[in-house]
Amino acid sequence: MPGLGDNLKRWRDQAEVDWFSQFIKAWIPFNAWMTDTFGDLSDRALLDKVKTEGNVVKNKTLPMLAKNLKVAHDAEGGWQDDSNDAQEFRLQVGELNRHLQQCIIEGRKGRVCFETVDIGWNANKDEQLTKWKRQFRCRRDHPNKGEVHLEISASKTVAAFALTLPKHDRPTLEDDQMFRALKPDQRALLIGMFEAVSPRIVISVLAGHGAQKVLTYGDADFMDDAGKNFSALIDVIYGLRNALFHGQITPNETHNEIYKPAYLIAMRLVKCTL
């Protein structure tokens, strides 16, 4: 027969909120809304439409994240939407960032955090510059779709360099023997150009050190661009969804706490659709 101590522990465990399950329950209607609104598309295509096209979630969330918009009506603190719901929403964004700073969550494409977020497709496919009297160029979708072509013009003493990769993949580039034979400064320059033509734009939306203009959510300073912060938030929530659904989350107390603000944010997004 269990003792009082065992019973207390069991009741305490029962009293703990399972934020994993709550998050899943919030994600399901959000995903259903995306499919109903934009069609039966891939997850990435659906997320891009939420981020870039006019829709109720974006239209209602941006004012909670933004200041000094033209339609602002003297909101306290300069926020476009300074309602109680909006204040709580911003606090939860800050809480989510705090948890993700303290605990590493690995997704399929790297760490899930606001420092490496996918904010959409990159329209830039061609980078060119002149350095050390040579022409450097990096082109995506050249010569064929998906391929990346890098080149350096010849000099009087050095032959031209040309390399075509089957897809945009930095490890493949850095492992290539022809690329490794280049001088370090040339490799560094080409890597920068290679990243500039990446198919997706991956950035940090946290404010840089000493930034003059920031948007503060909770205790976290984000860049002064509500649109990019919104895109980042959608990407982080989706990254947490993937980490959970693909079994990359250990069901412990620390991870459970991460999903509390994630759930509250997801529910706020769902309420925008009602």
14-39: pLDDT as tens digits: 667 899 999 999 999 999 999 999 99
Q: What value does the mean pLDDT of the chain take?
A: 91
Question: Looking at the structure, do residues 75 and 192 belong to the same domain, yes or no?
Answer: no
* Residue 265, in any domain of the structure: yes
* Residue 12, in any domain of the structure: no
* Residue 147, in any domain of the structure: yes
Q: Which residues contact 101 (CB under 8 A, 6 or more apart)?
A: 113
Using the predicted structure, report yes or no on whether residue 8 has a pLDDT greater than 70.
no
* Residue 258, in any domain of the structure: yes
* Residue 11, in any domain of the structure: no
**What total number of domains does the chain contain?**
2
Token pair recorded at residue 55 = 């829709």
Of the candidates 141, 170, 198, which is a domain's last residue? 198
pLDDT of residue 109: 74
> CA end-to-end span of the chain, whole Å?
50
pLDDT of residue 108: 74
Question: Looking at the structure, do residues 100 and 209 belong to the same domain, yes or no?
Answer: yes
Of the candidates 198, 216, 251, which is a domain's last residue? 198
Asked if 211 contacts 222 with a C-beta cutoff of 8 angstroms, the reply is no
- Which residues span the domain enclosing 142? 123-198
pLDDT of residue 75: 46
Question: Looking at the structure, do residues 175 and 108 belong to the same domain, yes or no?
Answer: no
Helix (H) or strand (E) segment spanning residue 222: strand 220-223
Distance CA 144, CA 81 (A): 47
Question: Looking at the structure, do residues 192 and 207 belong to the same domain, yes or no?
Answer: no
Backbone angles phi, psi at 208, to 5 degrees: -70, 160
DSSP 208: P
Of the candidates 198, 214, 236, which is a domain's last residue? 198
pLDDT of residue 39: 95
pTM metric for this prediction: 0.82
* Residue 135, in any domain of the structure: yes
Q: How do beta strands 110-111 and 117-121 pair?
A: unpaired
Distance CA 53, CA 70 (A): 20
* Residue 104, in any domain of the structure: yes
Q: What mean pLDDT do residues 187-210 have?
A: 94
Q: Given pLDDT bands bounded at 50, 70 and 90, which one contains residue 119?
A: confident
* Residue 267, in any domain of the structure: yes
- Return the percentage of the chain with pLDDT > 90, whole number: 80
CB atoms within 10 A of CB 130: 9
Pinpoint the alpha helices (H) of the chain. Answer: 4-15, 19-38, 43-52, 56-65, 84-102, 170-175, 177-180, 184-196, 226-245, 253-271
